[in-house]
Chain A
């Protein structure tokens, strides 16, 4: 190749001339560096200029013909330099342009025409690339020769530099001639289409094509624009095809593939700016347009995927749809409605399955299963997306609160886990269950109802010693405390405190008996008393106490004395609805003599003394009975036969309770029938029904537990109503406390702000309606806690 030689401009033109003619070197050293002698360019004559130009022209043409090897770079450079220096830059430039144009027209165009004629597949592209390469190579060399002109003339005249000039001319004379650009484009786009359809193509050619067009500055206009719009059309079609032929999962897979391919394609042979744009096209045509249809596709859409638990497919869909705005929102919507449907199947009072209505434990179990499933989905398919999380949370809140038994059922479920039952659960299992329950607990809107039911269940467990594990019980309570605050669980904790004292008090009582009281020696009726702090335990209010049998009464008095000594300010009331007794009973089983044909037992009559059958054997039993049952039974020590009404008078047990007691003693299973009811077998016990001891009573066991009429698992409507009332009263109180708290600190507050504050304050327990709050506000105004502002009745003031 040619050498690159750069003359220094300072060299005087005149000096050079002399040098050429072989004249004696003048004081070139002088001028060469130290002093700048401005040389007055001598006018060059026309002939000389022309000759220089002709020289250059020929040279350029040779370069273009790829015959540059014989040329001297130095000479050509010098010539060009001379021309420009003598202010003939114009001529040079214009001449240059002319030469290039000529070359394009005379030499290149025919090539192209031929290529087009041939009509072979990529012939035009190939040919263009080839001539392009040649051209650019030539232009580089030409530029090097004419570098002085570039530096001086071009920048002065503000015209295009040499290389760029070459490019422009190529663009105008070749590409933009005779629809070459369109043919070229067509070839390129067809290649792309073929590749999309699976053919192998010479993509390097395409790469060169892109590069060429980019260099020419026409990439976007000539190619990219059309590429994008044709691709959009293509994918529009493909989208519909995919949709028609495939399941949702398959569709998503296809989309994934297309994205991968286009990405790859763009990286291989398109300009880097196109990559993002083509992917945007794919996203738009394949995802945005069809995402809703895909999600909702019958039989294979999100709903189906959720039903069959196709986590991988869901995850894929999520990832792919994530590419477009609102893509995941569509999925979220579908997931949400699915969750809501599943939820409502369990909870909606009208829609729920029959079995769930009767079985609280199953109800809760199903809810837990659904909850777990949702967690898995969130984790494995939806990458813990916050939007999904919140949506599902809202859905759960919605359908759990659709059913106003949810709180109660949850407590029943917990009761089953925490109670000693048939299944012995390990502590780990209990804790697991408690965890799951707490998750559901958070969704409850009416947490105060839960508290009431839980308190009741807990009380029952504690009083009947049926807790499976103390630790688990306490753990549960502390969980509730963490969730809802100290106030919520204070009563529960107080129950535990009371219980812890029972043993201590009992021990103290025993000591007391030994030291102080000899009553126990006289009438040994051992009594164990559990003291409950009133208001803490959810026991019924005792209005009437039943009249205990004498011995029991004495023992009770004894305990009372002991307790009063210890705690003089406190009042003890015996709750006879709870508690049990071991009663020694002697049954005088009649012996049947051979002559005795009567199948019925002889009945005792009231007039006789203590009744004994004619022949009997003594049968000693110990009966474990409730307090009321004990009271009733001991009556029969005084009389053989009692009317129902007489028993009522003697024992002072309330009517309903007495019914239950008598039923349990006389109408149960044969092994439980301590008493006999004369005459009738009607369900209801009438006032005049008569009872006597069932002396024929036998049992394999020596110690028999006589059961009481058990309470139903879930509350009767009446009980529920009582509880509800209690909750309502509590709520009224809560709201008022909240209002006072808020007003005390704010002094003056506008109505709506007060509502907001109160709602916030009560939110951990329940959600009051604005009307309810308003009512409480008015009540407080009545009682002069609050007043309305005289000028603006919307503002309340705190009255201190």
Chain B
């Protein structure tokens, strides 16, 4: 390297700038494709639900696919089925995505990473709560929570169905953030047959009730 090449030369910086601008331009163009749909009626600075739907079609992912959540998370979206221009631009530029194909690949890659990286998953999980509940509410309502759990976990955890049933039977209306957070830990740590559940530990009351419930059922089944 030439001795006075610590700083990029005007030429090189131009190249970088060019590269940058071309990315920004591409991203912006992508934004334009989905934003400002008349059906959404949200103005030129947002992609609305219809736009999102089209985006998903182009990406080839279903609306209940986990990758939707991942996308929202990566873009740090605030409101469901909406992306602001800033969210979109900043997010995609940071990811280095310039086309739909790029986006698709990134999402798939991220999904695979999440399968392995527990702490990242935790971040996504916690994000989901804030994202999934209405903006100015403190708590998420139960049905929404159930939907998101299904999206996030699919069939990974055997206890999820029992949990869902329990919540509905008990007519739980609202899931507090504390409970939401610990549900992940619960599913990750506790066996399907509850063998390693510690009564003395600090699980929220709702979870302890759930465990009680399962145990009672087991007894009833065993007796029958």
Q: Looking at the complex, which of B30-38, B158-166, B174-182 is the stretch in contact with chain A?
A: B174-182
Residue in A750, A771, A781 whose beta carbon sits within 8 Å of that of B208 in the complex = A771
Distance (Å) between the CB of B30 and the closest chain A CB?
A: 36
Report yes or no: B202 in contact with A781, Cβ–Cβ below 8 A. Answer: no
CB-CB under 8 A from A771, the residues of chain B are 205, 208
Distance (Å) between the CB of B119 and the closest chain A CB?
A: 10
CB-CB under 8 A from A524, the residues of chain B are none
CB-CB under 8 A from A751, the residues of chain B are 200-202
Residue in B178, B185, B200, B201 whose beta carbon sits within 8 Å of that of A781 in the complex = B178
CB-CB under 8 A from B201, the residues of chain A are 751, 794
Please give the number of chain A residues whose Cβ is less than 8 angstroms from any Cβ of chain B in the complex. Answer: 13
* Assembly CA distance A788 to B201 (angstroms): 13
CB-CB under 8 A from B208, the residues of chain A are 771, 774
Which residue of chain B lies nearest to A752 when distances are taken between CB atoms in the complex? Answer: B200
**CB 8 Å contact bits of B182-224 with A (1 = contact, 0 = none):** 1001000000000000001110110010000000000000000
Report yes or no: A778 in contact with B200, Cβ–Cβ below 8 A. Answer: no
CB-CB under 8 A from B202, the residues of chain A are 750-751, 774, 788, 793-794, 796
Residues of A contacting B: mostly: helix
CB-CB under 8 A from A778, the residues of chain B are 176, 178, 204-205
Which residue of chain A lies nearest to B126 when distances are taken between CB atoms in the complex? Answer: A790
Is A775 on the interface with B (CB-CB < 8 A)?
Answer: yes
Which residue of chain B lies nearest to A775 when distances are taken between CB atoms in the complex? Answer: B205
CB-CB under 8 A from A750, the residues of chain B are 202
* Assembly CA distance A585 to B176 (angstroms): 66
CB-CB under 8 A from B204, the residues of chain A are 774, 778
Report yes or no: B205 in contact with A793, Cβ–Cβ below 8 A. Answer: no
CB-CB under 8 A from A793, the residues of chain B are 181-182, 185, 202
Chain A CB within 10 Å — which of B176, B201, B202 has the most? B202
CB-CB under 8 A from A775, the residues of chain B are 205
Is A597 on the interface with B (CB-CB < 8 A)?
Answer: no
CB-CB under 8 A from A199, the residues of chain B are none
- In chain A, residues 747-800, which have Cβ atoms closer than 8 Å to a Cβ of chain B? 750-752, 771, 774-775, 778, 781-782, 788, 793-794, 796
* Assembly CA distance A782 to B174 (angstroms): 13
* Assembly CA distance A796 to B185 (angstroms): 16
CB-CB under 8 A from A788, the residues of chain B are 178, 181-182, 202
**CB 8 Å contact bits of A127-161 with B (1 = contact, 0 = none):** 00000000000000000000000000000000000
Distance (Å) between the CB of A718 and the closest chain B CB?
A: 28
Please give the number of chain B residues whose Cβ is less than 8 angstroms from any Cβ of chain A in the complex. Answer: 11
Report yes or no: B176 in contact with A782, Cβ–Cβ below 8 A. Answer: yes
* Assembly CA distance A9 to B16 (angstroms): 124
* Assembly CA distance A781 to B139 (angstroms): 13
* Assembly CA distance A794 to B205 (angstroms): 13
Number of A-B contacts (CB under 8 A): 30
Which residue of chain A lies nearest to B209 when distances are taken between CB atoms in the complex? Answer: A771
CB-CB under 8 A from A782, the residues of chain B are 176, 178
CB-CB under 8 A from A774, the residues of chain B are 202, 204-205, 208
CB-CB under 8 A from A752, the residues of chain B are 200
Which residue of chain B lies nearest to A786 when distances are taken between CB atoms in the complex? Answer: B178
CB-CB under 8 A from B205, the residues of chain A are 771, 774-775, 778
* Assembly CA distance A775 to B181 (angstroms): 16
CB-CB under 8 A from A796, the residues of chain B are 202
CB-CB under 8 A from B181, the residues of chain A are 788, 793
Distance (Å) between the CB of A442 and the closest chain B CB?
A: 29
Chain B CB within 10 Å — which of A771, A788, A793 has the most? A793
Which residue of chain A lies nearest to B202 when distances are taken between CB atoms in the complex? Answer: A751
Which residue of chain A lies nearest to B201 when distances are taken between CB atoms in the complex? Answer: A794
* Assembly CA distance A771 to B206 (angstroms): 10
* Assembly CA distance A793 to B177 (angstroms): 13
* Assembly CA distance A613 to B7 (angstroms): 121
* Assembly CA distance A796 to B202 (angstroms): 9
Distance (Å) between the CB of A790 and the closest chain B CB?
A: 9
Which residue of chain A lies nearest to B182 when distances are taken between CB atoms in the complex? Answer: A793
* Assembly CA distance A53 to B149 (angstroms): 116
Distance (Å) between the CB of B183 and the closest chain A CB?
A: 11
Distance (Å) between the CB of A467 and the closest chain B CB?
A: 45
Which residue of chain B lies nearest to A772 when distances are taken between CB atoms in the complex? Answer: B205
Distance (Å) between the CB of B120 and the closest chain A CB?
A: 14
CB-CB under 8 A from B200, the residues of chain A are 751-752
Which residue of chain A lies nearest to B184 when distances are taken between CB atoms in the complex? Answer: A793
Which residue of chain A lies nearest to B186 when distances are taken between CB atoms in the complex? Answer: A793
Distance (Å) between the CB of A43 and the closest chain B CB?
A: 97
Which residue of chain B lies nearest to A776 when distances are taken between CB atoms in the complex? Answer: B205
**CB 8 Å contact bits of A735-752 with B (1 = contact, 0 = none):** 000000000000000111
Distance (Å) between the CB of A757 and the closest chain B CB?
A: 14
* Assembly CA distance A788 to B185 (angstroms): 13
CB-CB under 8 A from B176, the residues of chain A are 778, 782
CB-CB under 8 A from A781, the residues of chain B are 178
* Assembly CA distance A771 to B201 (angstroms): 11
CB-CB under 8 A from B185, the residues of chain A are 793
* Assembly CA distance A390 to B185 (angstroms): 44
* Assembly CA distance A751 to B182 (angstroms): 14
- In chain A, residues 590-648, which have Cβ atoms closer than 8 Å to a Cβ of chain B? none
Which residue of chain A lies nearest to B178 when distances are taken between CB atoms in the complex? Answer: A781
Which residue of chain B lies nearest to A755 when distances are taken between CB atoms in the complex? Answer: B200
* Assembly CA distance A288 to B204 (angstroms): 52
Distance (Å) between the CB of B44 and the closest chain A CB?
A: 39
Distance (Å) between the CB of B207 and the closest chain A CB?
A: 10
Distance (Å) between the CB of A750 and the closest chain B CB?
A: 8
Distance (Å) between the CB of B4 and the closest chain A CB?
A: 48
Distance (Å) between the CB of A105 and the closest chain B CB?
A: 83
* Assembly CA distance A781 to B205 (angstroms): 13
* Assembly CA distance A752 to B202 (angstroms): 8
- In chain A, residues 561-601, which have Cβ atoms closer than 8 Å to a Cβ of chain B? none
Distance (Å) between the CB of B188 and the closest chain A CB?
A: 11
Which residue of chain A lies nearest to B122 when distances are taken between CB atoms in the complex? Answer: A790
CB-CB under 8 A from B182, the residues of chain A are 788, 793
* Assembly CA distance A534 to B185 (angstroms): 48
Distance (Å) between the CB of B126 and the closest chain A CB?
A: 10
* Assembly CA distance A271 to B182 (angstroms): 76
* Assembly CA distance A750 to B198 (angstroms): 14
Distance (Å) between the CB of A752 and the closest chain B CB?
A: 6
Which residue of chain A lies nearest to B139 when distances are taken between CB atoms in the complex? Answer: A782
* Assembly CA distance A600 to B182 (angstroms): 80
* Assembly CA distance A778 to B176 (angstroms): 9
Distance (Å) between the CB of A774 and the closest chain B CB?
A: 5
Distance (Å) between the CB of B50 and the closest chain A CB?
A: 37
Which residue of chain A lies nearest to B198 when distances are taken between CB atoms in the complex? Answer: A794
- In chain B, residues 84-112, which have Cβ atoms closer than 8 Å to a Cβ of chain A? none
Distance (Å) between the CB of A213 and the closest chain B CB?
A: 65
Distance (Å) between the CB of B211 and the closest chain A CB?
A: 12
* Assembly CA distance A364 to B208 (angstroms): 40
Distance (Å) between the CB of A754 and the closest chain B CB?
A: 8
* Assembly CA distance A67 to B130 (angstroms): 121
* Assembly CA distance A793 to B208 (angstroms): 15
* Assembly CA distance A458 to B89 (angstroms): 73
* Assembly CA distance A750 to B201 (angstroms): 9
* Assembly CA distance A46 to B214 (angstroms): 109
Apart from A774-B205, A788-B181, A796-B202, what are 17 other A-B pairs with CB-CB below 8 Å? A750-B202, A751-B201, A771-B205, A771-B208, A774-B202, A774-B208, A775-B205, A778-B176, A778-B178, A778-B204, A782-B176, A782-B178, A788-B182, A793-B181, A793-B182, A793-B202, A794-B201
26 A-B pairs whose Cβ atoms sit less than 8 Å apart in the complex: A750-B202, A751-B200, A751-B201, A751-B202, A752-B200, A771-B205, A771-B208, A774-B202, A774-B204, A774-B205, A774-B208, A775-B205, A778-B176, A778-B178, A778-B204, A778-B205, A788-B178, A788-B181, A788-B182, A788-B202, A793-B181, A793-B182, A793-B202, A794-B201, A794-B202, A796-B202
Write the residues of chain B forming the contact surface with A, with a CB cutoff of 8 angstroms. 176, 178, 181-182, 185, 200-202, 204-205, 208
Write the residues of chain A forming the contact surface with B, with a CB cutoff of 8 angstroms. 750-752, 771, 774-775, 778, 781-782, 788, 793-794, 796
Q: Nearest 7 CB-CB pairs, A to B?
A: A751-B202, A794-B202, A781-B178, A775-B205, A774-B205, A778-B204, A752-B200
